[in-house]
Amino acid sequence: MRPILLSGHERALTQIKYNRDGDLIFSVSKDQQICVWFAHNGERLGTYHGHVGAIWTVDVDPTSTIIASGSADNTIRLWDIKSGKCLKTWEFPTAVKRVEFNEDGTKLLGVTEKRMGHLGTIVVLDIKVDVDAEQTDEKELTIVCDESKATVAGWSYLSKYIIAGHEDGSVSQYDGKTGDLIYNIPIHELNMAITDLQWSPDRTYFITASKDKTSKLITASELEVLKTYIADTPLNSATITTKKDFVVLGGGQAAMDVTRTSARQGKFEARFYHKIFEDEIGRVRGHFGPLNTVAADPTGKGYASGGEDGYVRVHQFDKGYFDFMYEVERERQNRLA
Amino acid sequence: MAPSFDHLRDEDLDEDDFDQDEVDISDLQEKYEVSLEQGYDTFVVVDNLPQVDEGKKPSLIKFLLKKLNTVGKTREDLIFMPMGEDGQSLRFAFVEYSSAAEAAAAVRQLDLVPLDKKNIMRVNKLTDIDRYGREGRIDENYTPPKIEEFHEQEHLRSFMADPTGRGRDQFVMYRGDSVGVFWNNEKDQPENIVDRPHWTETFVQWSPLGTYLTSVHAQGVQLWGGPSWTRQKRFPHPFVNLVAFSPGEKYLVTWSNRPIAIPDEGHPILTLDDDGKNYIIWDIETSKPIRSFAQLDILGPPDENGVKKPLKAPWPAFKWSADDKYVARLTPGASISVYELPRMNLLDKTAIKIEGVVDFEWAPASPQRDGIKTYEQLFCFWTPEIGSNPARVAMMSIPSKEVVRSLNLFSVTDAKLHWQSDAAYLCVKVDRHSKSKKSQATTLEIFRVKEKGVPVEVVDTIKDTVINFAWEPKGDRFVIITTTEPVAATAVPPKTSVTFFCPEKMKGSAIGNFKHLRTLDKKNNNAIYWSPKGRFVVVATVHNQQSSDLDFFDLDFEGEKPESDKDMTANLQLMNTADHYGVTDVEWDPSGRFVATWASAWKHSMENGYHIYDFKGEVLREEPIEKFKQFQWRPRPATLLSKEEQKTIRKNLREYSRIFEVEDTERINSADVAVVQERRRLLEEWLAWRKSMEEEVAEERAALGLPADPVADLLKAKTAELAAGEEEKIIEEIMEEVLEETEEIVA
C-alpha cells in the first residue's frame, strides 16, 4: 500500500472529505486554502480562494456540485466545485468549526465556536444545490449550546436528528426540525473533548473520536454505544470504512504535550480496528506529526489522512486488505456462497 | 469506599448515613483519655529507698541525684524526701524533672534499678500513684478479664492455592489512584482479584513472605490479606514515609521524616515516650509498638563552605538478622547497636564500638561455618583508613561479638558488601585509588564463609570501575558491570561492559577459584537481575533516555560448550534481547518463570506501562497503562517440600511437564473456541441489528413518501441535466510507459 503524498498545504491539515463517488478529495488546512485532488493519482484539480483565516472544515454535497467550508474568519462559504467560484458567504460572530450537509444536500449545519461572550451554537441553513440559484441569508434554525460547547455535529438519516459531540465528552441528540434537545449523554470521559464525528453510509450510526484515547460507535436514534475502540494516544479523528467492517482512527500526542517528540513517542499512526470485534488489526505509519483527520473513500477503495505535518497521504488498499477476514466472517461468507 | 484510617469501623459504613454526633465514643474517651494534671506530670515518686536520718539524708540525695540525672535534669532542691516523726526518712522521695518527657523516661529506665544490694528502686509517675494508688480507685476484688470469643480468621496463605490449579503467581499494580491485585495470565489479560481506588496514599508493598499487602497513609500503615482482602493490622505511625519488614514477617519498622508529636489528648497506641521519635519497631502479630527511636543526626562531609550538612537518613536504618532475632543500627563512624528481640533490648546493654565504621550487612541466611556448632548470626562491616591504620573489613559473630575474620586493605576509596543469598560467600567490592588518587580500579575480595577459617579470595583482574555486582541466588556465580570512567552526571552515560564470573571445575564437591568467564563490551547496561532460582539472568539498561535493552542470559545452556570454557562451571548463552522503551524497573516473579518490566510514572511520563517476558526473554504481554506507578510480584514463602521431595520432582520433570503441556494446549484450545464463539455472537448480533435498523429506516422513508435512496434521484437528475447541456464526451487517457531504455555509444 504505497501512499500518494499530497504536499499542497503549507500548514496543518484540519479536515479531509471524499465526495460520494470517491474520485475527488477535498482538503482544508490552517493555511487558508481549500484544495481539491483526484483521488486516483493525487493530481491537484484546483484550489478555492477567499477565506482569510484558518479553515477548520469542509463538506461536499452528495451530487458533487457544491462544497461548503467553515473558517476562523467567522464565515461559512459555499463554492461551485467546477468553477471554483464563491457562491455565498454567511457571517457569524465567531469561528466556524464544523459544517455538514444532510443526506440530500438541502440543509447545511454549522458549528460555531464559543468565544468573546458568544455561546457556541449549531446553525442550520437551507441550501439550494444549484450553482445559479440565489441562496437565502436566513438561518433556518439556531441551537445554542449553553452547557458545554459543541465541537462537532452532523445529520442523521432522514435529517431526523442533529447529533453533536461536546467539549465535555458528552453527545447530544437534537430534533432535526425544531432543534429541541432530546438527549444529552456523557459518552466519553468527562471533559475530554470529542474531536470528530463521522457517519456510516446510511447515517444510522456514527463514530466519535475523543481526547480520552477512545473512539466509540454509537447509534443515531438511541445514542447507544455499540462498540468502543481503545487506543493509546489522544484521538483527533475516526472514520468508518465501507466494503470492509473496519474503522480507522488517527491521533497522536500533540507536540505541546511531550517534551521530546520522536516518531516513536508521538504514535503518529493511522490505526485500523475491526468494527465489530473491536480488535486492533494494523497500523499505517508515515506522518511525522499527529493525524488531525482521516477519511475513508465511500467506495471502499482507500483512505486518506491529514496531519499536523501539512501532508495528506492517500492510500489505495491492496489485495491483502480485501482478502483479510476473520474466521467467523469467512465462515459466514462460505455459508452464503 | 476507599479504605483508610478515616473509616476505622469494620462495618462498611456509608459516609452519608453516618452522623458523627450519634457515635458514642464515651467508652473510648474513658479508655484513652490521658488526664495530665498540669504541673504534676513532671513529678515522679521514687520508692524503696533505704531508711536514713537527717544526717545521712544529703548524701543519699546526692547519690540519688546521680542516678536521676542520667535520664533527665533535676536538682537537689527539686527532690523532696519527707521525714517521719521519728526522724527517720519514710523511704520515698518526690522528684521534679524539667519536663514530662524526662519524667516518663525516668519511669521507663530507672524503675527496678538496684540502688545497692538490698534496695531496688521503684519509680512511678506521681499522677499514676494518684490515679491507681488512692483508696477505692482500684477494685479490691479480682475480676477475671473477659476473654474475647474465638473468631476464625481467614487463611492468610490462601493465595498460594491458585483456583485454576496452575500455580500462577499474583502481582499488585498501582496505577492512577487505584491498586489492584491480579493473577498472572501470561499472554492474556491478567485476572483481577481485587481492585480498590485510593487503597494507598503513596505506595504499596508486599510483606517478604507475601502474607500481607501494605498500604501507606498519612495516619499510618495498614496490612491487608486473606481471601477477602480485609484489613489485618494497623500501625498508626503518623506521617509514615517508609516501611520495612523483618525477613520472617515478625516485625515491622516504620519511619517518618517528621518526628512523632503526641497530641495533648494522647494517642490511642503510642505513648509520650514515643514523642520526638522517627522510627518505630512494631510486633506484627500483636500490632503493638515495641520500641521507638529518634533519627540519628549524621553530618555529611563538609561542602565547599566547610558546612556539614546532615545526610539523608539511610534506609533501611534497621537491618535484620536472617532469623528475626536481632536488629542492628549503625551509628556512622562510631558503633553498631545490636538489639535482641523480642524485647528490643540492647545486646549486652552496650553498642559495639567500631571506630570509623561506614557500613555493615547481616548475612541473609543463618550461616554454617565449618566446625562451628553453636548458634550464631554474622554480620560484616568495614572501616576506612584512619590515620596510619589500614582500612578493614571484618565479620562479627553475634551474640558472641567475636570477630571471626578480618581483612586489612589499603588505598580504599569505597567498599560495598555483597552477601550471597545462602551466606556462603561475601564479596567485598573495593574501589581503590592509585597513590596519586587519580585512577581507580576495583578488586573483589571474596570471603568463603562455609570453608574452614573463612579463606579470602581476591579477584584483581578488573581494570575498570565496577558499578554493579550481583551474586547468583543460591549459586556461586556472579555478574559485574564495569565502566572505564567513573560515573558522573553526564548527558550520555559511558559505555559499560558486562562480565561473568564462575568458579573453576573441581574434583568432588569442592568449589574452585572464581574465574573470568566472559566479557561483553560496548554495552549500555547498568542493572543486573538474577532469577530467584539462579541460572538465568537479565542484564538491563534502566532509567536511560537513549537505550533500554534487556539481555536474557542462560548460564547452564544445554547446547554445545565452547572448548575454552571446559573447565568452567557455566555455559553462557545469550537467549534473547528485548527492548522496553523507558523501562525503569525489572522484577522476576518468585518462581523464576516470568520477568516483569515496567516504566513507572514516578520516574517519567513516557509510555508508562508494563511488559511480561518469560525467562527466555520472549515477550508475552505488553500493556501500556496511563499513570502506571508500581508493579510488584507477590512473594512466596519457602517451599515446604524436603530436599528429597524436590529431587524426586526434578527427576520426574519430564512426566510433569507432559501433563502440564497437555493441560496448556487444552486450555488454549478451549480459550480459542471461546473467542471464536464470542466473535460469532458479536457478528450475529451486529448483522441482526443492521437488518432491523435498515428495515426501520426503509419503513420510515416509505411512510414519509421519500425514495429509498435519497441521493440516487438527485444524481439521475444531475446526469440528465449535464447530458442535456453538452455532448457526451469520451475522455481518453493515454498512458506511456518506458519498458526498456538502452544507450549505445557509437564510436
CATH code of B438's domain: 2.130.10.10
> B337 pairs with which residues across the strands?
B329
Q: Are residues B342 and B262 in the same domain?
A: no
In a domain, B81, yes or no: yes
In a domain, B735, yes or no: no
Instruction: Flag whether pLDDT at A255 surpasses 70.
Output: no
Q: Please report the pLDDT score of residue B101 as a whole number.
A: 79
Q: Are residues B260 and B370 in the same domain?
A: no
Indicate the number of domains in chain B. 4
From the candidates B626, B697, B706, which should be mutated to test the interface with A, based on the most A CB atoms within 10 A? B697
Predicted confidence (pLDDT) per residue in A204-214, tens digit = 999 999 999 99
Q: Please report the pLDDT score of residue B42 as a whole number.
A: 83
Tell me if chain B has a CB within 8 Å of the CB of A23.
no
Q: Are residues B102 and B215 in the same domain?
A: no
**Facing B679 at nearest CB: one of A158, A205, A326:** A326
Give how far Cα B417 sits from Cα of B111, B238, B294, B393, Å. Answer: 41, 33, 26, 9
> B158 pairs with which residues across the strands?
none
Q: Please report the pLDDT score of residue B301 as a whole number.
A: 65
A263 pLDDT band (50/70/90 cuts)? very low
Question: Domain ends where: B385, B416, B451?
Answer: B451
Q: Are residues B290 and B324 in the same domain?
A: no
**Residue whose entry in the numeric block shows the C-alpha cell 484550489:** A47
In a domain, B648, yes or no: no
Report the C-alpha gap between A315 and A48 in whole angstroms: 24
| One-character DSSP codes across B652-695 | THHHHHHHHHHHHHHHHHHHHHHHHHHHHHHHHHHHHHHHHHHH
Tell me if chain B has a CB within 8 Å of the CB of A103.
yes
The alpha carbon of residue B189 and the mean position of all alpha carbons in its chain are separated, in whole angstroms, by 26
CATH level 2 (architecture), domain A11-244 = 7 Propeller (2.130)
Please state the pTM of the whole predicted model: 0.70
At position B649, the amino acid (one-letter code) is I
In a domain, B501, yes or no: no
CB atoms within 10 A of CB A158: 19
Residues 6+ apart with CB under 8 A from B611: B578, B580, B583, B596, B597, B598, B619, B621, B622, B623
Tell me if chain B has a CB within 8 Å of the CB of A104.
yes
Under 8 Å between Cβ of A112 and A97? yes
Tell me if chain B has a CB within 8 Å of the CB of A328.
yes
From the candidates A269, A276, A335, which should be mutated to test the interface with B, based on the most B CB atoms within 10 A? A276
Residues 6+ apart with CB under 8 A from A163: A153, A154, A155, A156, A171, A172, A173, A174, A197, A206, A220, A223
In a domain, B647, yes or no: no
User: How many CB pairs below 8 Å do chains A and B form together?
Assistant: 57
In a domain, B250, yes or no: yes
Question: B142 is written with which cell numbers?
Answer: 479480682
For residue B668, give its domain range: 656-715
Q: Are residues B327 and B437 in the same domain?
A: yes
Tell me if chain B has a CB within 8 Å of the CB of A62.
yes
In a domain, B569, yes or no: no
Q: In which residue ranges of chain B is pLDDT below 50?
A: 1, 12-15, 37
Q: Are residues B103 and B217 in the same domain?
A: no
At position B93, the amino acid (one-letter code) is A
**Residue whose entry in the numeric block shows the C-alpha cell 473509616:** B7
Q: Cβ B607–A204 below 8 Å, yes or no?
A: no
Chain B residues within 8 A of A205 when measuring between CB atoms? 693
Q: Are residues B123 and B45 in the same domain?
A: yes
In a domain, B591, yes or no: no
What's the complex ipTM?
Answer: 0.90
Q: Which residue of B has its CA nearest to A220?
A: B693
Instruction: Flag whether pLDDT at A42 surpasses 50.
Output: yes
Chain A residues within 8 A of B701 when measuring between CB atoms? 158
Chain B residues within 8 A of A222 when measuring between CB atoms? none
The structural domains of chain A, with segments of one domain joined by +, span 11-244
Lowest mean pLDDT among A113-122, A181-190, B28-37, B327-336: B28-37
Number of H helices, E strands in chain A: 3, 28
Average pLDDT, chain A: 91
